[in-house]
Structure 1
Amino acid sequence: MAPWRNAKRRIRAGDIAPPEANDGESASAGIIAEYNVLRGEIGRYQDHQTQIINFAFVLGAAIIAFTRGLYGKSLKNDEALSILLYVPAMYALLSCLFADRAVRIVRLADYIDNHLRRKFSLLLGTGIWQWEVYKRLRPRPQKYAFALDKSRWLVFFIPAIGSVGLYFWSGGGLETWRSWSGLAISVVSLLVCLGAMLAAEETRGAAMRNDPDLDAYDPFSTHWNPPRP
């Protein structure tokens, strides 16, 4: 067994020395440092979202170039045209990656608002970082906010639906197993895009919750209160 596991098991409540009376400044510096790290993490995920959207545009341009190539070679009704039916699967993957980053951003915002902000406010004796509170008190019209938020997902829906429409508009049919399987994959992919869009809800921000104090569950905290056996 690794030594660090044994060391972790030997930790007991009260093993860590309580902070000195003048450690308030150190605690504030530690909280601010953690906040900056979390904000940097949020910015990194937002950059990922931008890259995913850019890749979606590049993929759309590649679809247009591919279709023009088919027309240039008079390959309409060829099996190569059925590739268009598999394009929605790539956009489904991109939408899931985009939703994953959105969920991660909301989770980080939730931690900052419901845990880190609470600890810092108690330390300072006043409220701080109240942006999420402001959003809850001054919400935008919900239907407009929801529509604007979901408009970003048109980057995935329009090319996915357009590729299927382009397949049939170009003369593609459902005579082969490849075309039928491609159509089934297109339908499933569009449903995946829809599910990812609904799962990534960012308009409301982080919800206020009365979560338990994390220090009670952290063996490295002076307020650790392990459950009795």
Structure 2
Amino acid sequence: MNITLYGAAGSGSVPVEAAMSLIGLDYRVIEAVTWEGETERDKVAAVNPMRQIPALITPGGETLTESAAILIWLADSHPEARLAPKLDDPRRAQFLRWMTFIPAAIYSMFWVRDVPSRLVGEDKAAQEEVKRRTAERIAECWRVMDGQIEPGRFLLGDDPSVLDLYVAVASRWTPRRARFYVEAPRMAEVVRRVDALPSLQTFWAARFPFEDET
């Protein structure tokens, strides 16, 4: 299987890349650092009119966008990798719940944070207030998730899933891990395990170098 992924180091494409690495798929990444300006966003325009990453082109030429959708598709297409509960698994409902919660409640905040002038114009004070409030909102959402999920060794039990990859990456973004550990102490131990997975050490070093904030 040969897959093309539009993405960038440290971005929302990283959990997708991590999942493909664990599955053992052949893929190539077209680097598009979309938060750096119009030229970078234009790289993605032909495959995603929203000019956002990640965007994945399947071997059959189909385009998939939205990180959660791509992760679920990858896991369901490769059940042998055990990266998601199967359709008849009792954990499936909660898997879908949290895979949707992250982009809806948390990831969406970064569209606002990256360019706050989109909503408040050029008022610098207003932009800083937007950044402050979105950081607080993200922290609150992590706290809510932590209060309702019941992790085992990983978020859904003994085996890592694409949900673990998603949370491990998103929790590295603002307000960053030190705050995440405070707000989400039950998930904190899980993301540390994901950081330490031997099968991903080379991958993390290349695509999202990270020093734990303790």
TM-score (norm 1): 0.29
Greater share of strand residues, 1 or 2?
2
Greater share of helix residues, 1 or 2?
1
Greater relative CO, 1 or 2 (CA 8 Å, sep 6+):
1
Max Rg structure: 1
